[in-house]
Structure 1
């Protein structure tokens, strides 16, 4: 598995058109709301083939988009304007590149494949996301946040280099390798892929991962060691017992703990807490906690954490914590999440990053909307995940990911099957989200409490003045002060704006 494997030879890219039985599967992603009708889908298996398809599309003036894992939550890949879809799912190799002393990950590799191979072969991990079927291609470019991030930072904090197929001002295609080395003349292209989001600058055909400060060429020492096992706790808080006072105390405790422990030297880096606020039609609120089982004080950390979060709530049933091997936990999460495995689900999603816990007026809004009786959908949730820790050890300008003083990441989710319900549930999510952030114009404007949005959970509404009534533009919510640098990279590497979508980085 050392070295760069030879590119697959012997055939041209596979071209799938509407006459092919496979077409329907290849023109849709995880969100069934968005189905494309391109002239063709090109399945490629090498960087050379990517460059050929991109060059042909540019030469013929065809609108092109790129799919790696198909998890884009908006219509950035599949929309009526797209004529050519470049499908990278066959480019899914993960290997140790001895020449670079780094792990190479191709864009079509799903996170479960990355985790399994790195763990089984070398005992290392990348602190990326928890959704197993997400493709590395767009996920890494947006930052990459997951269960190991409080201990080890974001995926991009370990990104050593990136290979990108780009298009110059004359329409000529070339392949560029850009690294984090300060003397690399292409370093700005590497930087743009450390949180600038997918579909902006070119087609990523390979990522290389090696932690800053790693020494030597032993594959087992260039990335974080994976946890031996995880200490897990799940506490259910039934809605019939959830008064407004109890609900408020829970959110106050959860927010206060994570604000207090958001710094990179927190003694609770090994603890990742998640609070899933369900609608009352969806069963109990859930407090999920994971602790690195290899920490010498894992049991004490878990007990102390739960004591703080549950303090003042009265009697709470706490099932006994259990230890699960790290890789088994990753696999279990993949199997257990039915929403990830249902290709017919339609959805709407919104995100927010918080520097502090939610203030009282936001807590009131959460409670009011989650207890409403005029809607009945058990998939309605707001998930609060512990953020910060080693994520906050990196300067905001050092990578394109600018949110380096946060304590919580929030995700609004509502799912449904019937297209006739689109308007109802999209409107619900808009109303709920807008009410929570009513005091800042309907969006989480960066200030002392909120810090914008996460580009890997894109929401085109924040660029719509009907829903973003603040004076803060959408790009400040996602990129803050790093947006001018991203625009400069866009001008250099995609001057023809070949790679674009509704929230793409704009040319200067």
Structure 2
């Protein structure tokens, strides 16, 4: 095997070839087979629809161990997949073809790298671990996702959107470098470091990890984060500082009182506010706002609006008050406390009047308060969309019909509208692999359930719901003047299926737009043997 930093020594950008060495391994690589009592815990993630049957799970603790396992898989012709946090929405990790699962969950160190003047984060670290370490020790953060247990490995490579996105962009907008175990045309595994430096000959590999998703080019072992406009060389100067305090608000409406007209008004208000230039362009006074409209199935009993506002913004209280007034304008039902669980949120009645919280306390609260996502019987299905302009009244009416329909009766079925835009849209679509840089809000269609006997009912309901909303564009949100495709981190294999996607627009265009051909060129260079692949991985050109 080649030296772990051989490729970086040939390039590496303006700061020289060698970053700090990876943390020393605390244990030897461990192979766990089906006869081992640990096996059952290691062949499943959050979604219990996907349970693997690999020959072995490999627990690793260093890039060298990862490289050795990858080399073994290539030598023996065995399909290898990678798990970091276990939140993959499809069977891309746990499927019938996988023989070796590489489990990165013990590679979770977060440290300062003097050489790169950047924070090194191992791929198995989970988001809450990253936030707490960065903030408690150095007072900085990255603008990543809300759910605490999402693994960095897949979250970052898929673009990484979260509560600070409108203020600070996507997490990949702060990605300085990536360390990847790749396999060359001769079948040799090696470890490569690629940076965003223009002079780095490996820069295309860095670019490919800014929105293409996991399982495409190799195995990520480390990321380095440094904000693009950072100038200092001290840890406290390398990344954004989160707001010291935020305002948290949660209001809800009774489904029993909700008419179709009121439902349409509420959803229209939300989308109209987010598509207004003064609220969505970079530099908006509302850059510190992140808000979700939770349109639950009628069986839930409530619909809710949950918001977080940067409390350090001048006039933050009045801005938040004006925002809620705009979303509720003309809604002829009084809102009250959020008293029911919905999606990733537990009841939040105490936030009917906005509460001022320290940022880390609010981040921990949003990420960890639900017990639903850690239920070991949880089953789920998801779909997504980006919007550049308002959802039409016809589309909202379709949403109403499916959410008010009594046949399913699942209180955990919903569509969630979430804020996007502002700082996210200050980056050009081709500067990173994340192409959706002119959208104003995004949609997550989801349903949760627990009994395998309910699989068909839930999956069929979600398909019908989604395809009905986008029936004028072939059942999917095709990139046009209004919609802008789908989010790769909300993977949806139905996009590949002409029975469900009749638009003629392929799945890769929905996810990647005009960036896909460049992704294919990176694939041909760094994984010419297609050793890393799944149902929606980048295809060789």
Give the shorter-chain TM-score range: over 0.9
Q: Is 1:112 matched up with 2:145? A: no
Structure 1 residues 406 and 364 mapped into 2: Cα distance closer, same or farther (>3 Å)? same
**Residue aligned with 1:240, SS:** coil
Q: Shift of residue 5 of structure 1?
A: 6.3
Q: Is 1:173 matched up with 2:173? A: no
Q: Which residue of 1 aligns with 2:403?
A: 370
Q: Shift of residue 123 of structure 1?
A: 1.0
Q: Which residue of 2 aligns with 1:200?
A: 216
Q: Shift of residue 311 of structure 1?
A: 0.7
CA distance in 2, matches of 1:130, 1:140: 13
Q: Deviations over 1:214-268 (max 9, x none)?
A: 1111111111101111101111011112111111111111001000122113221
Q: Shift of residue 354 of structure 1?
A: 0.8
**TM-score normalised by structure 2 residue count:** 0.92
Structure 1 residues 84 and 466 mapped into 2: Cα distance closer, same or farther (>3 Å)? same
Q: Which residue of 2 aligns with 1:214?
A: 230
CA distance in 1, matches of 2:367, 2:333: 32
Aligned-CA RMSD value: 1.1
Gaps of 5+ in 1: none
CA distance in 1, matches of 2:26, 2:140: 34
Q: Which residue of 1 aligns with 2:10?
A: none
Q: Which residue of 2 aligns with 1:391?
A: 424
Q: Deviations over 1:451-472 (max 9, x none)?
A: 0000000000001000000110
Q: Shift of residue 31 of structure 1?
A: 0.6
CA distance in 1, matches of 2:230, 2:26: 38
Q: Deviations over 1:60-111 (max 9, x none)?
A: 1111000011110100000000000000001000011111100111110000
410-419 vs 80-89, which moves further: 410-419
Map of 1:178-257 to 2, 5 A cutoff?
178-257=194-273
Map of 1:116-195 to 2, 5 A cutoff?
116-195=132-211
Q: Which residue of 2 aligns with 1:476?
A: 509
CA distance in 2, matches of 1:459, 1:317: 34
Q: Is 1:262 matched up with 2:280? A: yes
CA distance in 1, matches of 2:73, 2:501: 35
Q: Which residue of 1 aligns with 2:332?
A: 314
Q: Shift of residue 179 of structure 1?
A: 0.6
**Residue aligned with 2:357, SS:** strand
Q: Is 1:406 matched up with 2:439? A: yes
Structure 1 residues 246 and 177 mapped into 2: Cα distance closer, same or farther (>3 Å)? same
Q: Shift of residue 11 of structure 1?
A: 4.5
Q: Is 1:289 matched up with 2:322? A: no
**Residue aligned with 1:241, SS:** coil
Structure 2 counterpart of 1:73, from 89, 103, 106: 89
**Residue aligned with 1:134, SS:** coil
Check conservation: 2:45, 2:86, Cα contact below 8 A: yes
Check conservation: 1:271, 1:301, Cα contact below 8 A: no
Q: Which residue of 2 aligns with 1:299?
A: 317
CA distance in 1, matches of 2:401, 2:257: 15
Q: Is 1:278 matched up with 2:311? A: no
CA distance in 2, matches of 1:408, 1:296: 24
CA distance in 2, matches of 1:266, 1:325: 23
Structure 1 residues 196 and 151 mapped into 2: Cα distance closer, same or farther (>3 Å)? same
CA distance in 1, matches of 2:135, 2:283: 26
Gaps of 5+ in 2: 1-18, 337-351
Q: Is 1:457 matched up with 2:490? A: yes
Structure 1 residues 471 and 9 mapped into 2: Cα distance closer, same or farther (>3 Å)? closer
Check conservation: 1:141, 1:196, Cα contact below 8 A: yes
Residues paired across the two proteins, number: 506
Q: Shift of residue 391 of structure 1?
A: 0.2
Structure 1 residues 500 and 243 mapped into 2: Cα distance closer, same or farther (>3 Å)? same
